[in-house]
């Protein structure tokens, strides 16, 4: 009965509408077939990655740390005037070699000379008063011996003589002080050396105690470096200190720690360390850039090997290293030792093995890899 009704319905619709219905049905069937064809997973082609590797070195080596520094003098004197005045003469330049006793700078001595003249006049005046007091004392002693004056009057003249004596001593001391001040108008070199810095020029007014220049005394040379607090003990126990110089690539000398600052610098929070140079050649000049390599004995465990920090692959709480065998990556668990200079000491590797040093987080166990010929060497 339903088939007859559907047949009657199709008779009632026009041929044009029927063609639309058939076209829509055909499109639906084609879409379903296309979706089924493309929903199937495509065959994947595995690419073998090229990895950066390194050969595991020998165990039980030394840990090296390098610090940049500057060549300095063992003794440096900062000189200053002991009086205030205007600089009228400068006899040295930056880098001048001076001897002990050389006059380096001079300030205007006119006011100081006037002070000396005034003190000298006071000395003469006090000496004249002393002579007068001495003459009066002699006369009144004679009068007292003749009972012409009382004892109280004689005591007054004896006291006046003592006051005059004290006045002479005071004026003489002031004269000596003013003479010293006049001599302080000249700045002398206290030791032989080289002028390393000058902070004043002729015509400048300077105050007493203001640092004018610095003399690096002739003799020992050192390298000053800055060391973080976690490396101080390693520096104290260093097995060897090797100093190289940027301007002298062929020169390498040994050194020893002479001084470690008791407090860290407030800005850098590092400790200033002075490294004494043993038998430095004359080519080493003040201010040269130096590199201090600190070689400290490694851990007593001879199984520890230093590898790049980038080779460590951490899974949960277990560190590991990807070892390449027959172009296949295998994760090897290791134990971590000391750290430093982007190196880490580990145990669990054998010298000569090939380890992956870059891209360790993109590998998986048993994955095929390619190793360049340069990394194999």
Domain boundaries, the chain: 2-38, 65-73+219-297, 76-107+188-216, 110-183
Q: What percent of the chain has pLDDT over 90?
A: 38
Decide if 76-107+188-216 and 110-183 have a common fold: no
The CATH topology of domain 76-107+188-216 is OB fold (Dihydrolipoamide Acetyltransferase, E2P) (2.40.50)
Express each pLDDT in 215-247 by its tens digit. Answer: 988 878 899 999 888 888 888 888 788 899 998
Intervals of the chain under pLDDT 70: 1-28, 30-46, 58-63, 296-303, 340-341, 373-377
The CATH topology of domain 110-183 is Helix Hairpins (1.10.287)
Predicted TM-score (pTM) of this structure:
0.54
- What CA–CA distance (Å, rounded) separates 58 from 91? 61
Express each pLDDT in 45-62 by its tens digit. Answer: 567 888 888 888 765 555
What class has domain 65-73+219-297? mainly beta
Contact call for residues 221 and 290 (beta carbons, < 8 A): no
């Amino acid at each position: 009965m339903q088939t007859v009704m559907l047949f009657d319905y199709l008779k009632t619709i026009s041929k044009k509408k029927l063609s639309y219905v058939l076209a829509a049905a055909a499109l639906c069937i084609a879409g379903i077939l296309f979706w089924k064809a493309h929903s199937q997973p495509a065959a994947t082609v595995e690419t073998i990655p090229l990895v950066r590797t390194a050969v595991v070195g020998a165990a039980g080596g030394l840990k090296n740390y390098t610090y940049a520094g500057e060549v300095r003098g063992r003794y440096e004197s900062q000189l200053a005037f002991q009086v205030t005045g205007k600089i009228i003469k400068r006899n040295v330049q930056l880098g001048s070699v001076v001897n002990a006793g050389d006059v380096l700078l001079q300030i205007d001595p006119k006011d100081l000379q006037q002070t000396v003249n005034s003190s000298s006049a006071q000395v003469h005046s006090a000496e004249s008063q002393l002579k007068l007091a001495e003459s009066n004392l002699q006369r009144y002693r004679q009068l007292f011996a003749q009972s012409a004056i009382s004892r109280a009057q004689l005591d007054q003249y004896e006291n006046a003589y003592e006051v005059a004596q004290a006045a002479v001593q005071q004026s003489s001391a002031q004269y000596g002080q003013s003479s010293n001040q006049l001599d302080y108008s000249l700045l002398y070199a206290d030791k032989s050396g080289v002028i390393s810095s000058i902070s004043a020029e002729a015509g400048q007014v300077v105050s007493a105690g203001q640092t004018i220049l610095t003399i690096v005394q002739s003799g020992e040379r050192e390298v000053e470096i800055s060391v973080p607090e976690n490396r101080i003990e390693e520096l104290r126990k260093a097995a060897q200190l090797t100093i190289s110089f940027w301007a002298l690539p062929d020169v390498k000398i040994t050194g020893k720690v002479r001084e470690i600052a008791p407090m860290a610098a407030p800005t850098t929070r590092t400790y200033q360390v002075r490294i004494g140079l043993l038998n430095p050649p004359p080519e080493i000049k003040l201010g040269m850039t130096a590199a201090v390599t600190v070689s400290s004995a490694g851990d007593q465990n001879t199984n520890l090997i230093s590898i790049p920090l980038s080779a460590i692959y951490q899974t949960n709480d277990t560190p590991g290293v990807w070892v390449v065998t027959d172009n296949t990556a295998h994760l090897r668990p290791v134990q971590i030792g000391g750290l430093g200079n982007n190196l880490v000491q580990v145990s669990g590797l054998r010298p000569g093995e090939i380890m992956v040093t870059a891209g360790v987080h993109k590998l998986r166990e048993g994955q095929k890899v390619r190793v360049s010929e340069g990394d194999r060497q």
